[in-house]
Structure 1
Amino acid sequence: MTGRLYGVGLGPGDPDLITVKAARLIGQADVIAYHAARHGRSIARSIAMPYIRPGQIEELLQYPLTVETTDHPGGYQGALDDFYVECAARLAAHLDEGRNVVVLCEGDPLFYGSYMHMHKRLAHRYPTEVVPGVTSVAAAAAVLGRPLVERDEILTVLPGTLPGEVLADRLRATDSAAVLKLGRTFEKVRDAFAGAGRLDEAWYVERATMDGERVVPLKDVDPEGVPYFSLALLASPAERTFTPEPESATTAPEVVVVGLGPAGRPWLTPEAQDALATATDLVGYGPYVDRVPPNPRQRRHRTGNRVEAERARHALDLAREGRRVAVVSSGDPGVFAMASAVLEAAADYPDVPVRVVPGLTAAQAVAARAGAPLGHDFCVLSLSDLLKPWEVIADRLTAAAKADLVLAIYNPASRSRTWQLPAARDLLLEHRAPDTPVVIGRDVGGPEESVDITTLGELDPAKVDMRCLLIIGSSTTRVTAQGTVYTPRRYP
């Protein structure tokens, strides 16, 4: 069983920019290999040093030459090719013995990286994985604080070793550019920028993220002492033409009435999530506001449960001041909730736009948990007589029962309203069989969720509170042997 070869990108120089995966592999490797110039000091090893553990085998791959001349019969490239063959053989000896080898590489291993010479010679023979790293180009843009490219702009990466006229032609034809391998090529590169008419746009970045980092306009750089670890950069032309909005400019004010669904983020629509995220102010009944994760950028206005009109006007007043207000409701804001209250109040605020964002309502949530009891015609009623007289509720219950509609009943009971549900049950039994299926959904989607199936004749009002929703079936509603409730789409 052979070892595994890893080409590990170290990023531009700051050890904190090594990826988590790269750090893990460095620490686990049997062999750490790294290149160095003839002085023997390895920048790659210095970057990786915090992650190297005692006792690991180290292979120094020391170049026989860098830019000097050589008497090798194959010339400069021949000398390097022999060096790469010898290095590959040294690493292969470890791999053949089953040792995992990590080859360190500044930046990204396959972006002008020294590792690629080992990859070409070994990857076809051994299991190999390349771990990408932050490139010098990305690091330079980051320390410069300017975008490289936007939208459909073109980025051109060029080695400074190209002929000057080629560099100039490429610089004329691109939106953004990075020219690497400066050092001794600097004056030629600077002249190419000037010849392309782009010297005034160009920046010089030296040792990005390392000690001695320097960022200056390219035209101001002294050619003496320009290191290899530097590059010339043309940032996005869009950045140069962008005019920031005035500091006073804000998002257009509005009131958005947002449905939170019955409980929790999984029940929240993407549109509702966006409305909450972009709001400057949240307004609503306290427990509903508390369901939205706090954000110190936003102001939260918690109110009691029975001040809907005041809450609506407060939201509209905030929007008139230039705020972007989200009024939150449980379930769907248009079903026994805040949408109608806000729209009613908005008649006095013609200058304030109001938008309603739907939410999953309790009837849908309970029905889904039970099966499909709302599979045919149904009606939705609230048993609360706080805003309408009981006589109206009784007439509507009777009409729905006579019409053989499935009923979804909101607000069936509370601590102060206990007689309405028994009265409603008795009214329904005048027109509906005692074995009519009834679904009692409580806190659906929440930590105390329960869904009970009973019948109209056996419905116990004492087991129902304000957190419940009831679905009362029609004459066609059925309960399967598995306890699933459904109403067929066909009607006899």
Structure 2
Amino acid sequence: MTVRAVQVIAGADVIAYHSARHGRSIARSIAAEHLRADHIEEALIYPVTTESTDHPGGYRGALDEFYESAAARLAAHLDAGRTVAVISEGDPLFYGSYQHMHKRLAHRYPTEVIPGVTSVSAAAARLGKPLAEADEVLTILPGTLPEEELTARLASTDTAVVMKLGRTFPTVRRAMERSGRLPEAHYVERATMTGERTEKLEDIDAETVPYFSVSVVPSRIADLPPGTATSTETATTAETATATTTTGEPSGHGEVVVVGTGPAGPLWLTPESRGALAAAEDLVGYTTYLDRVPLRPGQRRHASDNKVESERAELALALARRGRRVAVVSGGDPGIFAMATAVLEVACQAPYRAIPVRVLPGVTAANAAAARAGAPLGHDYAVISLSDRLKPWEVIAERLHAAAGADLALALYNPGSRSRTWQVGKARELLLEHRAPDTPVILARDIGGPEESVRTVHLADLDPHQVDMRTLLIVGSSQTQAARRDDGTQVVWTPRRYPEK
């Protein structure tokens, strides 16, 4: 208890506290030595806790009626000129029962809220482990969340505390395991009180877990040696060869996770991808994509040029073979014109066939651009790269003919660059053989980035000089519509219904 809390209790006429129907109150037991014989005690006893109720308004209705009644009891004391102290374990406004009284009374009577030590801080102190350090993000979660939601949030954060265990413990444990956080998780029961218990979460029997317990996933940085910093290395063919030839037999339990960062920064990351990037010991990738990932103490970065995909893949697998947890960072979705293919090609060769490889999806450029424009890919569509660096133009032209002839909307990746200047014009000529001149074409550039722009032109008016390596083109089908709304914005969509012939 804080000094101020002791002072307020000493000066109060009425001491109020919540409890279940058994009448025992943790808050009262904490404050017991400061209570006087002449204190008026108001036990605010919940009519239900977790059981069902026949109240007409259901569980919520029963509690709302109780809160109104409890507030009225306290208001009667206040109207009589008595000072009321509502005591609450932890902090009154942090998952505390008091907040329901606060909502009903604080606007009517002078109120002071005395902050308290939360179970979160108490649990960390008892474990002797920092909750968060430097730029780490701490997430506090109620165990009552659905398992999928818990899993996603645990995967995406640096450190976490899950409260309200008890009956939720099996769900919380599964979420910890699915998110890969179970080995890091600790269990704390009744921190600082009689019956306190601290153990690894994975060792806890679910049948022994009370409501007043928490799970803590503490700071990763705190476990690093003092002075550990993030290092940046350049992955070259020579380094990869060295890594490969010196590994010998595999050591440890390394893995490679291929992570898609979406088209731009953190807003486009999935929770699973965010968690994989945080958990990795090594990050391997094209420099531009690595720059999107926050620096983390203890992680090693292996940055390289955009044209050495096989070498990057081999470096990542060689590091994993040494027992390292490696994240290969890819833009957009790693399985669409990106790093997943390169990693899997190498992973299927000796000596890497035993290395675990996971591919995590990301928001691909076509979907990001389509969302900005409206819904131009709302019906069947094809995705084609106009780059002839890895396949001949004849193949590209044949695929454009086939897709356009089938009346598919088209998402055209890699339409142009400084060294490829004629492909967009040639593609326009080819598509005009199948599409009307006024077919909508979306030019989406730097989606999610600082220079984002989205424009819609007619196919006949598509200017190749306005297309660069940061642009993606979406060409509508014969059914694609473009319209201007009352607010001046233009939207493009392809109807999901196709006209009957």
Q: Shorter-normalised TM-score: what interval?
A: 0.5 to 0.7
Matching of residue 300 in structure 1 with residue 301 in structure 2:
yes
Is 2:460 aligned against 1:457? Answer: yes
Is the CA contact (8 Å cut-off) linking 2:443 and 2:474 kept in structure 1? Answer: yes
Offset of 1:401 from its aligned partner?
1.4
SS at 2:273's partner residue? Answer: helix
Question: 1:81, 1:446 → 2: CA distance?
Answer: 63
**Bigger-Rg structure (1/2):** 1
| In 2: Cα distance, 1:107 partner to 1:345 partner | 56
Aligned-partner Cα distance in 2 for 1:367–1:324: 34
The one-letter code matched in structure 2 to 1:446 is G
What is aligned with 1:277? 278
Task: String of CA shifts for 1:20-62, please: whole Å, max 9, x gaps.
Answer: xxxxxxxxxxxx97859xxxxxxxxxxxxxxxxxxxxxxxxxx
Tell me, in whole angstroms, the C-alpha distance in 1 between the residues paired with 2:473 and 2:466.
Answer: 11
- Note closer, same or farther for the CA distance 1:233–1:408 as it changes in structure 2 (3 Å cut): same
Q: CA deviation at 1:327?
A: 0.5
Q: Of 411, 415, 438, which residue of structure 2 is paired with 1:412?
A: 415
1:325-347 Cα deviation digits (max 9, x unpaired): 11111110000000011000001
- The letter for the 2-side match of 1:272 is S
Cα distance change on mapping 1:146 and 1:282 into 2, 3 Å:
closer
Instruction: Mark the CA change 1:131 to 1:351 in structure 2 (over 3 Å): closer, same or farther.
Output: same
Task: Provide Cα deviations, 1:274-319, integer angstroms capped at 9, x if missing partner.
Answer: 1111111111000100100100121111010000000000000010
State whether structure 2 residue 338 is matched by structure 1 residue 356: no
1:487 CA drift (Å): 0.8
Map 1:56-71 onto structure 2 (within 5 A).
none
1:143 Cα deviation from its structure 2 partner: 6.0
Amino acid at match of 1:339: A
- The residue number in structure 2 matching 1:134 is 116
Alpha-carbon distance change, 438 to 134 in structure 1, aligned in 2, over 3 angstroms = same
Describe the shift of the 1:107–1:447 C-alpha distance in structure 2 as closer, same or farther (beyond 3 A). same
1:125: how far off?
12
Please name the residue that 1:472 is paired with: 475
TM normalised by structure 1 equals: 0.58
Q: CA, structure 1 residues 388+125, in 2 after alignment: closer, same or farther (shift >3 Å)? A: closer
> 2: distance between equivalents of 1:129 and 1:461?
68
Q: Secondary structure at the match of 2:401?
A: helix
| Mapped contact 2:446–2:471 kept (Cα < 8 A) | yes
Q: Residue 410 of structure 1: CA displacement?
A: 0.3
Rate the CA distance shift 1:33–1:277 in 2: closer, same or farther, 3 A: closer
Q: Does 1:236 align with 2:197?
A: yes
In structure 2, the CA distance between the partners of 1:102 and 1:265, relative to structure 1 (3 Å rule), is farther
* Contact 1:150 1:236 (C-alpha < 8 Å) held by counterparts: no
Partner of 2:426: 423
Q: CA deviation at 1:267?
A: 1.1
Contact 1:146 1:236 in 2 (8 A): no
1:1-150 matches, cutoff 5 A: 11-12=1-2, 35=10, 77=37, 80=38, 127-129=109-111, 131-134=113-116, 145=127
CA-based RMSD: 4.6
Q: 1:241 to 1:491 in 2, by over 3 A?
A: closer
- The 1:238/1:353 distance shift into structure 2, 3 A limit, reads closer
Residues 343 and 233 (structure 1 numbering): CA distance in 2 closer, same or farther, change over 3 Å? same
Distance 1:81 1:300, change over 3 A: closer
Q: Which residue of structure 1 lines up, in the alignment, with residue 382 of structure 2? A: 379
Query: Percentage identity across aligned positions?
Result: 54
Deviation at 1:376, TM superposition (A): 1.1
Ranked by relative contact order (alpha carbons within 8 Å, sequence separation 6 or more), the top structure is 1
The number of residue pairs the alignment matches comes to 334
In structure 2, the partner of 1:489 is 496
C-alpha distance 478-308 of structure 1, shift in aligned 2 (>3 A): same
